[in-house]
Amino acid sequence: MTQLDVDLVPVIGRPHPARLAKALYPLTGRAIARYADVDANGHVNNLALESMHENARAEFNQETFPGVYQPAVRSVRLVTANNAVHFLAEVFWPATVETGLGIGRLGRTSFTVSTALFVGDTCVSVCDTVLVVLDDNGPAPIPEEARDRLSSLLLN
């Protein structure tokens, strides 16, 4: 076996400290941890936390791209190209989790939804999901109305 001069698996560093502040995120919401989400260690499990990121993202997508989850009426689809989650602190049940959401990057046919989960003032997880806009022919430009909304929510 030969040694490669590059890492096949990049090391993903910890999130920027600014990502840990609620005030960074222009949109907020709430999620409730369920007892069924508790693992053998007494924590709300990581899949449940990822589900909270996903639900915040899906609600946002439905508002920004009306009908995107209704195949009969949608004009574009959204597909996930990349999803990176950092779990930063334990969450114990019962817990009300505050969600924060903004746009981390905006391209021509894709954008990054950046979310964070907070228990009190503690950031317990951040997630960055790259979504690609598709039409029947493949990647498509982000519709202008959606682009305007995404632009207004860029993290800075």
Q: CATH number of the domain that 112 lies in?
A: 3.10.129.10
Residue 122 maps to a domain: yes
In a domain, 124, yes or no: yes
**How many CA within 13 A on the CB side of residue 57?**
25
102 belongs to a structural domain: yes
Tens-digit pLDDT profile for residues 50-102: 999 999 999 999 999 999 999 998 889 999 999 999 999 999 999 999 999 99
What is the pTM assigned to this prediction? 0.92
Cα 93 from Cα 30, distance rounded (Å):
15
pLDDT value of position 13: 86
State the virtual CA torsion across 78, 129, 25, 109 in degrees, nearest 10: -50
Q: Does residue 84 sit within a domain?
A: yes
Domain that holds residue 105: 24-152
Total of domains in the chain = 1
Residue 110 forms part of a structural domain: yes
Identify whether 129 is part of a domain: yes
Q: What is the DSSP letter of 88?
A: -
Q: For residue 93, which of 137, 134, 145, 41 has the smallest C-alpha distance? A: 41
